[in-house]
Each structure stands twice: as structure tokens, then as C-alpha cells.
Amino acid sequence: MATQAQNSRQSVGLLSLLFPLSCLLFLLPGCAVGPNYQRPKVNVPTEYRDAEKLAQQASIADLPWWEVFKDERLKNLVQTALANNYDLQIAVTRIEQSRQVAAQARAQYFPFLNYSVSGSDGKNEFVGTVAPNGGQERGAFAAVATAAWEADIWGRLRRENEAARAQYLATEEARRGVLLSLVSDVAQAYFELLELDLQLQIARDTTDSFTQTLKLFTQRLEGGVASKLDTSRAAAALATAAASIPELERQIAIRENQISVLLGNNPSSIPHKAKLLEQVVPPDIPVGLPSALLERRPDILTAEQQLRFANAQVGVATANFFPRIGLTSLLGRASSPLSSLSSGQATVWSVAGNVTGPIYQGGALRAQKRQSVAFWEQTKLQYEQTAQVAFQDVSNALVSRQKFEAIRGEQEQAVQAYQESVKVSFQRYVAGKASYFEVLDAQLQLYPAENALAATELNRRTVIVQLYKALGGGWNLKDADWAGPIS
């Protein structure tokens, strides 16, 4: 009994010493070796090239998408896409995956607790001998709980957690990029669909015009006034214009299929009544400060989180040079007869500390450190390149907007001139003052001029989509707000 009491006092004394020591190690902040993250300096222009006004803070990117694209049918399409699109759903699952990776990394801060229960029984008998009481029975039973914990003295676990969190935030920004791209893709495809409708109407009007011309020439041929060459040329022009109709119908079906898939549906028709020329083009578009782009573009923010990840990996590689300090403990009961397992004499415990560190790894740790530094340099360059491309995207959209406005003015004059040319040449032909070639030449030039003007009208609207996307539109929207108001 005296020995038992002495052991009990020793165990209590040892535990009273180790408990505050373990608490101190647990709360120790550590020094977190490796570089702390700092955003690299990027060569940010003071203003965008070809900006219509001097740089100002206001930007079209501050507006939610439904205030930029005001067509009601387009709003409904975008809302359906935001609810059902598969790319967006995939992005959400990636966020959940990275969130759990970050949670797993955080778990390393805390002790790992485990349990173990074991039992065995047996009997010894010897052949040819008489064992007392039929042999000796032996049994062993144990039930213990163990705890293991690593003191993060050098910040290795902290850097691993920092890296996992950066990966998680990168997937969050990537999802926002998917949201913005989805809104832009639906709007772009919708405007392209309306432009194809306009081209189809032009093709049908042109076909009707050539039909009337051929009818007139046929009558004049039968009356002996026109030649066979005139009617043959008119028939060829009619067939060419008519052939463009099924081609445009094919393109319309393809564009509708594209929109359907963006909406998360199987390919189908997209009912719509709006006209391209009814889509309002804002006369003035503020673009904000170039420096704001670093805080708004999802791809830039994703690249920055990847840089944070790479920076933390340098810290992890640095911490691997230092020893790891751990604590392990065991508490439970063990007994030979199962009936004694609950008695005080069956208690077992142990507390131990360990220090492990590298001595010689054949240069592996140094190579790992250099690899992580090279990866950091790579991601730093990618971040700077992403920012530079973002400035380019905005500048390209701005200059395109300016030039499309200028092109539209000239093309409108060209279409009006060709329309007048067709009218005058036809009157001269009927009056016998001009040949059919003069009429045909005017008609053949009018058709592509009208199509070119339709394409420019499309470009004037899609450049707004491109500019909104390039500026990181909707950057201030929360996830729940992207769906927009219910109409």
C-alpha cells in the first residue's frame, strides 16, 4: 500500500508539472519562420488609355448587372442561368472542397485524441504432465486513451493553415469570376441572337426585293424589252440572297442552343421578341480608377490568393529545417483478470515529450526550399501579368467603344447612300436610261452594307458587356444578391 501511495504521489507531481508546461506550449505564439505576405508592387497606370473622361472613382462596375442590362427577357435568362448553370455548381463544390481542406489544416493546432481497447485470454497446458487445476489461465485486458500534440514553435502548422486558407479564398474568387463570366456570356449570346434576327430580316427583305426585280425583268423579257442576260443575273442575285436565309437560321439555332446550355437546360429554342436596335446604349460610361481594378477583378484576386499560397509554402519549407516538438500522453486501465479492470490498482498512465529534427537529408530540404521560392517567383509574375492583361482588357474595350461609334456614323451614311442609289438606278432602268447592271450593282452593295451596319450595332452593345466584365462588374455584390430582384 505504501508503494502504491508513493507512485500515486509521484504521478500527481509529474502531472502537475507537465500540465502547465503543455498549456504554455499550446499558447506559445511562435515566430512563424518564412516571409510574411506583402502584395507586390504593380505598375498601375494613372488612367486608362482612350478613357472618355479624366480618371474618377465612379465606375459602371459599381452597378449590379440588372441595372446595366435592362432588357426584361435578358434579366430572366441571366437569373435562370445563375440558378441552374453547371459551371457555377461545379465552382460551388470546389469551394466546399477547399473549405474542408482548410478545416483539416486548422485541426493540426489541436491535440489528437484516440482510444484503444484490447483483450486477450488463454490457458497453458503441457502434454504428458499434470497441470494443477487443469492448467494456468492467462488474460490481459486494457482500455486507454491517448493524446498527441505538436507545439507549433516555428510556425510550420500556421503556414500550412495560411496556405490552405489562401486556396480556399482563391476558389471563392474563382466562383465570383464564374458569376461575372456567366452574366457576360448570357448577355453576349443574347445580343448576338438579336443581331442574327436582324440579319435574317435583312436577308428576307433583300430576297423580296430581288424577287420583285426578277418578276419585272421577266415581264420585260416576255415583252421583248429586256434581254435574257438581265433576267439570269436577277435570278442569280435572288438565289444568293435566298441561300443566306437557311444559313442564318442555322446560326440562330446554334446560338439558342448555346444559351440553353448556359441556362442549365438541354438545347431548345429561346422565345424572345426584343429587337437589337431597341437595346439602349448608354452615352456615357464611367470606368473608375485603374488602381481599383486590383481590388475588383476576380482573376486578379484569385492570382493574389495563389501568391499568398506560394508565400506560405516558402514558410512551410523553411520550418522543415527546424525540429518538431511534440507531447504524447496515455491514460487508462490495464489488468490481467477482467474483473480487476475497474479497480484503482489497474490505472496506467504515461506522459512523454519528443523532439525530432533533420540531420542529413541529402539536400532534399534545401531543394524543397528552392522549389518553393521558384514557385513563389512564378506566381508573382503571373499575378503581375494578370493585372497587366486586365488593364489591357479595359483599354481595348474603351477604344473599341469609341471606334464603333465612329464606324456606325459612317456606315449609316453608306446605307442611306446605297438605298438612294438603288432607288435612282431602278428609276433610270425603267425609263430606259440605264442597264440592269447599274441596278444590280447598287442592290448588291446595299445588302452587305446593311449587314455591316447590323454587325456594328451588335458591337456597340457587346462592348458594354466586355467593359463591364473587364472592370470586375458587380464586385460589391454579396453572393445572395447576384440573383437580382424578382420581377
Ordered DSSP codes for 116-136 = EEEEEEEEE--TTS--GGGSE
Task: Please report the pLDDT score of residue 429 as a whole number.
Answer: 81
In 223-272, alpha helices (H):
228-262
- Residues listed for the chain: 487
Q: pTM for the whole thing? A: 0.86
Average pLDDT over all residues of the chain: 87
Percent of the chain residues topping a pLDDT of 90: 67
Instruction: Give the span between the Cα atoms of 15 and 272, in whole angstroms.
Output: 77
**Grid cell 504515461 — which residue?**
350
Nearest alpha carbon to residue 391 among 47, 38, 41, 64: 47
For the residues 8-29, what does the mean pLDDT come to? 47
End-to-end CA distance of the chain: 84
Task: Please report the pLDDT score of residue 445 as a whole number.
Answer: 93
Reported as a single tens digit per residue, the pLDDT across 315-343 is 999 999 999 999 999 988 777 655 555 55
- Give me the residues paired with residue 352 across strands: 328
Contacts of 315 (CB under 8 A, 6+ apart): 32, 33, 34, 35, 155, 156, 158, 159, 162
Q: Which strand (E) or helix (H) includes residue 327?
A: strand 324-335
Judge whether residue 364 has pLDDT over 50: yes
The CATH topology of domain 32-110+152-322+365-481 is Outer membrane efflux proteins (OEP) (1.20.1600)
Task: Please report the pLDDT score of residue 17 as a whole number.
Answer: 44
For the residues 130-141, what does the mean pLDDT come to? 59
Q: Are 118 and 141 in contact (CB under 8 A)?
A: yes
For the residues 253-274, what does the mean pLDDT come to? 96
Please give the distance of CA 400 from its chain centroid, rounded to a whole number.
Answer: 26
For the residues 118-146, what does the mean pLDDT come to? 66
Task: Please report the pLDDT score of residue 309 as a whole number.
Answer: 98
438 burial type by CB count under 10 A (0-12 exposed, 13-18 middle, 19+ buried): middle
For the residues 129-144, what does the mean pLDDT come to? 64
Task: Please report the pLDDT score of residue 376 as a whole number.
Answer: 98
Reported as a single tens digit per residue, the pLDDT across 285-304 is 899 999 999 999 999 999 99
**Grid cell 490481459 — which residue?**
140
Confidence of residue 15 (pLDDT cuts 50, 70, 90): very low
DSSP string, 399-439: HHHHHHHHHHHHHHHHHHHHHHHHHHHHHHHHTTSS-HHHH
Contacts of 72 (CB under 8 A, 6+ apart): 487
Write out the E strands in 358-407. none
**Sequence ranges of the domains in the chain:** 32-110+152-322+365-481
Confidence of residue 284 (pLDDT cuts 50, 70, 90): confident
More confident call, 87 vs 438: 87
Task: Please report the pLDDT score of residue 63 as a whole number.
Answer: 96
Contacts of 183 (CB under 8 A, 6+ apart): 65, 69, 78, 81, 82, 473, 474
Nearest alpha carbon to residue 144 among 113, 112, 115: 115
**Grid cell 471563392 — which residue?**
172
Judge whether residue 86 has pLDDT over 80: yes
Judge whether residue 136 has pLDDT over 60: no
